[in-house]
Amino acid sequence: MLRSAEHDLHAMPHFPAPLESRLPNVGTTIFTVMSRLAQECGAINLSQGYPDFNAEDVLFERVAHWMRAGHNQYAPMAGVAPLREAIAGKVAALYGTEYHAEAEVTVTAGATQALFTAVAALVHPGDEVIVFEPVYDSYAPAIELQGGRVVRMQLAAPDYRPDWGAVAEAITPRTRMIMINSPHNPTAMVWTAGDMARLAALTHGTGIVIVSDEVYEHIVFDGRRHESCARHPELAARSLIVSSFGKTYHITGWKVGYVVGPRELMAEFRKVHQFNVFTVNTPVQLALADYMADAARHERLAAFYEAKRDFFREALAGSRFELLPSSGTYFQLARFGAISDEPDTAFVQRLTRDTGVAAIPVSAFFADGRDERVIRFCFAKSEATLAAACERLRQV
């Protein structure tokens, strides 16, 4: 007689004592919730941040080449040498700081792993870590799991600029780390050279480490320049800088990223990396090293996404959404106050069910659920997808 999975689940013994969660306030991420709802409703998914188009065939061919050539066993813990050398060369060419490929570059299983590992390696119980809200949802759990205290600086609509006076007041003798993100998810704000200079001045003469999330480094619009921590010598000396091949080459599902930083910080990073990941799959690393040889592949990314941003904004021009500035990333924030006074989470759920377009409520990026009636769309989609979505959104 066949038994159902539900029957087997109920038949299993229960854990004998109540569990004390290490993350009692964490549930399923809003990205998973909205993507699932979009699938259930057959909606156009502009919520989760990934492209609906492929990378170039040549990249797939290089992966197959290295697989067939027998490079299918463990890579060195820090990453294959050709890829680390290519990363060091790119960073030096773009930002003027030279990182030693052997000691100061590590390939990671995506950027989120790099961020988590950086926090795990450097934050001790009782340390304070400054983050900027709205904040990507992996930062705070990583800090809390190490026994650190999250100190939240607020970025307010519509321009989402850092308040450096407030940051200065928030720094204490317990401040161990400041986590920054530019270009910024979810706001699409880009930090300026002045912002970086203020950050350098505030951390000068301290032991504060910067973890700089720069996964959208190549997606900056309107002639702006990405101000990497690697571009600023004083910040480079105290920063672990994280980037992502997934965002750059339209391969988010491959989960490959990297981190660069001074050897003292990198040595601590690798102590943790070797035990929570050890290494990243070999043929993909070798293929990415080959693919990086053509710098035009990342140099043309800004223009590619700027055209998509402009297409999306123009297609929504006749709608009742108020579009906020989008200076980088592949996200567009929109106010919906002229449409509804619902909470943003309720609004995006209704938008998904009734209109057939999924978005992300920006309140999900605030610990207190602050609701400014702003939602986030992802425009890393084909023009056909964007046109279909905007046709629906103009009817709202």
pTM of this prediction? Answer: 0.94
The three-state (H, E, C) secondary structure of 156-222, written as one string = CCCCCCCCHHHHHHHCCCCEEEEEEECCCCCCCCCCCHHHHHHHHHHHCCCCCEEEEECCCCCCECC
**CA distance to 137, 150, 227, 278, 313, per residue, from 328 (Å):** 19, 26, 12, 32, 14
Whether residue 338 sits in one domain with residue 203: no
The pLDDT value given to residue 1 = 42
d(CA 248, CA 327): 17
Which CATH number belongs to the domain containing residue 376 in this structure? 3.90.1150.10
Are 181 and 249 in a shared domain?
A: yes
Domain that holds residue 238: 57-293
Residues 283 and 385 in one domain: no
pLDDT tens digits, 251-276? 999 999 999 999 999 999 999 999 99
Residue 1 lies in a domain: no
pLDDT digits (tens, 9 = 90+) for 291-326: 999 999 999 999 999 999 999 999 999 899 999 999
Q: Rounded mean pLDDT of 203-230?
A: 98
Tally the domains of the chain.
Answer: 2
CA angle 6, 7, 12 (to 5 degrees): 100
Helix (H) or strand (E) holding 12: none
Of the candidates 254, 178, 182, the one whose C-alpha atom is nearest the C-alpha of residue 225 is: 182
pLDDT band at 19 (very low <50, low <70, confident <90, very high): confident
Residue 107, both tokens: 């390939």
Question: What is the rounded distance in angstroms from the CA atom of residue 313 to the CA atom of residue 120?
Answer: 40
Question: Do 265 and 353 have their domain in common?
Answer: no
